[in-house]
Amino acid sequence: MTRAITVKDIQLFPIAMPFVERLRTSFGEEPFKTAIIVALHTDEGITGWGECAAEIHPGYSYETMGTAMHVLSEFLAPALLGKKITDALEVPALISSTRGHPLAKHAIEAAVWDALAKVNDQTLAQAFAAHLPAGHTSRGYANVGVSIGIKPTVEDTIAIIRQRVNEGYGRIKLKIQPGWDVELARGVRQAFPDILLMLDANSAYTLADAEHLKQLDAFNLLMLEQPLGHDDIYEHSKLQPQMSTRICLDESILSADDTRMALELGACKIINLKPARVSGYAESLEIYKVCVEHDTPLWIGGLMETGIGRAANVAFASLPGVTLPCDISATSRYFTQDLSEPPFELQPGSRLNVPSGLGIGVEVIEERVHAAAKLWHEQYPYQQS
């Protein structure tokens, strides 16, 4: 018998946290991780936690901290207040009058998943598995790898890979862009002939670069991620047949329908699923099922979540249909102190264990959420009206 929750109150905490290493993207350098932490309180006094992975700049996603605060506070939270919810799969319909804004929707849905799992004495991994065919139960751990940004030289990149391999990471992902691709792959492959190596282009190329990209076939890559347009599926379907390297789609996949279209058009052979990008775990479960039906390798990407979002993603990544190493690294790669305890630590075999507690399974330290909210207000006063 499933127990329902009734949503009594929803608090939103915009936060900033110092990164261990400054993050360099094509938009510049951000010294702080930003997010909106959602605390959903039930009438029985249970709190469910969610995390919105919005950034300052509308780069990876069109959503920003400003748009996500607006959409969460004006539309999504009011749509859930006072509602009795028996299954987190009900949430997408409750908020369907708001179009788009997947990062904001994911955050509020995640808080419902956490609260419902807690009142039903389940871990989040068990709650997810309950919505999948028999046999799709959690392994108890996620296979993970590490992502490395663009560095000044191939030698610098090799040095960082050596460090990460020594830490125990079993899969290396390198960001590429025109002028930083074939020679990088050649140099890294020479230094590490056997490592699981993949490249992520974040939409830096066009179909006119097909001949150039085909040179990457020489380096036994696990995959090439999102070479063409961020919203393209069709041109990827023209590129994939020309390459022996498997293409993985990330940015282009916003739904289970997109996944089916991409696989049936032959636009890719691997899916990177970021639950935040596809508006939550309900849609993520549908994408998971499409990948299982198509016998397609699947892995979980990351948006440098705090422990709150990371815990939920590790739980999803522990499901057996997630067949490739995920972009979820240990806490120490990102933060000196996280919002939750215990921190995620890399285990032998390049794994992260699923936390054992109910719901997201980690304990949210509320003083740290308040401190991170204070830092947000100090660092980004221009973001606030």
- Residue 266 backbone zone (phi > 0: left; psi -120 to 50: alpha; other: beta): left
Residues near 249 by beta carbon (within 8 Å), at least 6 away in sequence: 225, 226, 233, 236, 262, 267, 268, 270, 271, 272
Judged by beta carbon, residue 181 or residue 200, the one nearer Mg ion is: 200
- Per DSSP, the three-state class of 137 is coil
The site for Mg ion (CB under 5 A) is made up of 200, 225, 250
213-243 burial by CB neighbour count: b if 16+ within 10 A, else e? beebeebebbbbbbbbbeebbebbbebbeeb
Q: CB 195 → Mg ion: shortest distance, Å?
A: 19
Looking at the annotation, which residues are catalytic? 175, 274
Q: CB 250 → Mg ion: shortest distance, Å?
A: 4
Neighbours of 375 (CB within 10 A): 16
Q: Which single residue brings its beta carbon nearest to Mg ion?
A: 250
Judged by beta carbon, residue 105 or residue 277, the one nearer Mg ion is: 277
Judged by beta carbon, residue 90 or residue 251, the one nearer Mg ion is: 251
Q: Which residue has the tokens 């990177």?
A: 272
Q: CB 202 → Mg ion: shortest distance, Å?
A: 6
Judged by beta carbon, residue 247 or residue 314, the one nearer Mg ion is: 247
Q: CB 61 → Mg ion: shortest distance, Å?
A: 12
Residues near 88 by beta carbon (within 8 Å), at least 6 away in sequence: 109, 112, 113, 116, 127, 281, 282
